[in-house]
Amino acid sequence: MNDIDSALGDINRIRDRLAAGARFEGFAPKIVAITGAMAFALAGWQVYRGDANLFAWIVLATVCALMIGVEAIGRARARHLAMADRLINSTLQRFLPAGLAGAIIGFVILVHLPEQVRLLPGLWQLLMAVGICAALGNLPTSMRWPAAFYFVTGTISLAMSGDASIDAAWLMGLPFGVGQLLVAAALHVSPGRTRHD
């Protein structure tokens, strides 16, 4: 019985290592592109109303994450079969720390430092770049470009956050709208699928 348990443990470790280096094909370019369009729409609505409420961005980010996540789980199970759960976990473990850091930073600034709220768009863009870079081992190599874009726009947004003449809705919406469209394009042009039976 110990030999069987040992062999099963070895198989699980091999599968975990394969998952850590395999490309995750669960992200749907169309869904990601829709999230970019939603960012443009919210930014336009907030500029029209003259109300750049960052709480609305938190709600939108949550909705977008759920949309992408639900679609990713379904696609991963169809494309990766037996390796789906391991690939989902591997990709999440790489990206989740940046997402959690973004949620903590947002909570602290919104609740305790509301006068610094204009820093959030740039900080969130930088964390998005860090998250993508952390997950590159499971993502297409073309995802380097959206990560670089988010690094640049995060830096620019932070630098411009002190300029009250620039609407905060555009500091958030324009980079995230374009960034998500770049992510969708990177996913769309990536090479064909891999099946894990």
Structural domain includes residue 111: yes
Structural domain includes residue 150: yes
pLDDT tens, residue by residue, 147-178: 999 999 999 999 999 898 888 889 999 999 99
Structural domain includes residue 106: yes
Full domain range(s) for residue 87: 26-189
Cα 37 from Cα 123, distance rounded (Å):
21
Highest mean pLDDT among 29-38, 78-87, 134-143: 29-38
Tokens 């960052």 correspond to 54
Q: What is the pTM of this model?
A: 0.81
Which stretches within the chain are classed as H helix?
Answer: 2-21, 29-49, 54-80, 84-112, 120-134, 144-160, 168-189
How many domains does the chain divide into?
1
pLDDT tens, residue by residue, 90-110: 778 888 899 899 989 989 998
Cα 142 from Cα 135, distance rounded (Å):
12
Structural domain includes residue 103: yes
